[in-house]
Amino acid sequence: MQFTLTSTLTVLLSGELKKILKRITEGKDEKEKEQGSDDLQEIMTLVQFANDECDYGMGLELGLDLFCFGSERFQTVILQLMPLAYRLLGRDEFAEIVEIHLENRTRASLSQLPS
């Protein structure tokens, strides 16, 4: 797929991103999974361009979409996108929360309160 900076927002808002993520996680073969990964990498590159243009919300939105998709496969990407976006937006505390949460995102460690 060919994306542009303006079409990236459309992809994020439409069901196209979900299709890409499903292709990566549920693809029939490695070629299909690789194509999905290439599409996601292209979107991430455009998010970096958006960051350069002070449009920090695009990276935050993509990070939130990946976070909500729920696959552990995207954890590294989420850690690249969300903390940076929050810090660029001046929300350092949220960046720290995301980092700590992702370190403890297994069902067994959900409760951080003492019993």
CA-to-CA separations, 69 to 18, 60, 81, 93, 97, in angstroms, rounded = 8, 14, 15, 23, 18
Asked if 35 and 67 count as a contact pair (C-beta separation under 8 A), the reply is no
Residue type, 105: R
C-alpha–C-alpha distance, residues 115 and 112, integer Å: 9
61 is catalytic: no
Q: Which of 53, 72, 96, 103 is catalytic?
A: 53
The residues that are catalytic are 53
